[in-house]
Amino acid sequence: MTRTTGAARLSRALRAPEATRGNALPAGAWWLWALGLAAAASRTTNPLLLGLLVGVAGYVVAARRTDAPWARSYGAFLKLGLFVIGVRLLFSVFLGSPVPGTHTLFTLPGLPLPDWAQGVRIGGRVTAEQVVFALYDGAKLAALLICVGAANSLANPARLLKSLPGALYEAGVAVVVAMTFAPNLVADVVRLRTARRLRGRPTGGIGAVLQIGLPVLEGALERSVAVAASMDARGYGRTARVPASVRRTTNALTLGGLLGVCAGTYGLLAAEGAVYGLPLLLAGLVAALAGLRLGGRRTVRTRYRPDRWGARAWLVAGSGAAVAAAMIWAAAADPAALHPGVVPLTAPVLPLWPAAAVLIGLLPAAVAPVPPPASPKDSEEQS
């Protein structure tokens, strides 16, 4: 009886609760998870591993996304990824590729170019090797975009901006205002066009556009004045006095840290830069965070309902970091498995332990809070 009760308690503790405003995951946890998958995708051109990464991201999105408007963006990123692959293939076919090949698929009419354009060709022989190389290269970029799309579908953008450090407070407010302006503008246009249609007036043509545009601009101006008044009433722009030495230290740490992050990220994405890329990235992150921490002293503000990083948030973010670390290690230990050859053409093989490491990215589907089911009213509005 005791064992059964203990097992039941453990099962209830591990079971993901229903998402509420109090236990919702911070947006930063979802972004760290997605960026970890994207970093893993940048280390390989194996289509089997890339497909597995896309499948992991898609499963988590299907299991944990809500009915919010931003949660519908994942399909658009899938289409964008397919478009990227198509464009990469077209460029390879019509502009050629440096990859040599012996298996000719077809030959396009060539366009003669001047002498100063040596190394560039238009048309000519198209080989299977160059098409497969372009497919692998396009699939890697498509997987990166799809992983970023997963973060856009799962993370609330307003909560992400509200969780910015104090040094970036002004930039965060500007982005929030810009993000709320565009949807309201579109909603005003739809509302006015519907009203004109119900009154029997035309909704197309230059005259209709001019008659709709004036109320839309008037509404946008009124909202801008209201936002400015509310920001002034809440003390926006009020800053605290800090010593000049603190300001100089803040600027040096922030600028140096951002440069280190850029150089470290380039090293991680480069073919042979993982040795110096990771230490440089970590050092840049530490310096940038220290600079942002010091810069937050000049901002006097309170945070309403701050996001709390609990055990589930750390598990979600850590799963993405674990996938990225395992793939970086695999790229250094066995690069041939992560980059299948195209000259000569060989069928890609799924490496077992990198594939098992990618499956760690499924952890958010088990530990993240479950979104509540959509109400019938919401379903009717969406239909």
Contacts of 128 (CB under 8 A, 6+ apart): 101, 103, 104, 105, 345
- Calpha distance 36→318 (Å, rounded): 9
Cα separation of 358 and 39, whole Å?
Answer: 12
The one-digit pLDDT tens for each residue of the chain (383 residues) are 455 565 556 455 556 666 666 667 888 889 899 999 999 998 899 999 999 999 999 999 998 888 776 677 788 889 999 999 999 998 888 887 777 777 778 777 777 767 676 666 777 788 888 888 889 999 999 999 999 889 888 887 767 766 767 666 666 666 666 656 665 676 777 778 888 788 777 777 677 777 777 777 777 777 767 776 776 676 666 666 767 777 788 878 888 888 888 888 777 766 565 567 778 888 888 888 888 777 766 666 666 666 778 888 899 999 999 999 999 888 888 888 888 888 788 888 888 889 999 999 999 988 888 877 655 444 333 43
pLDDT attached to residue 379? 39
pLDDT in tens, 194-247: 887 887 777 776 777 777 777 777 777 777 677 767 766 766 666 667 677 777
Going by C-alpha positions, the residue among 288, 298, 291 that lies closest to residue 259 is 288
Mean pLDDT of the chain: 78
- C-alpha closest to that of 26 among 144, 150, 154: 154
The pLDDT value given to residue 380: 36
DSSP letter for 299, please: B
- Rounded to 5 degrees, φ, ψ at 378 are -65, -40
pLDDT of residue 360: 93
Q: Where are the alpha helices (DSSP H) in the chain?
A: 2-14, 27-42, 47-64, 74-95, 128-154, 157-162, 169-198, 206-233, 244-269, 274-295, 311-333, 335-338, 352-358, 364-367, 376-382
Residues 6+ apart with CB under 8 A from 61: 74, 150, 153, 154
Distance, in Å, from the CA atom of 220 to the CA atom of 91, rounded to the nearest integer, reads: 42
- The DSSP call for residue 46 is -
342 within 8 A of 201, measured Cβ to Cβ = no
**Residue 236 has what pLDDT?**
64
Reported as a single tens digit per residue, the pLDDT across 355-367 is 999 999 999 988 8
Contact 49, 358 (CB under 8 A): yes
Looking at residue 280, its pLDDT comes to 83
Query: In whole angstroms, what is the distance from residue 110 CA to residue 85 CA?
Result: 24
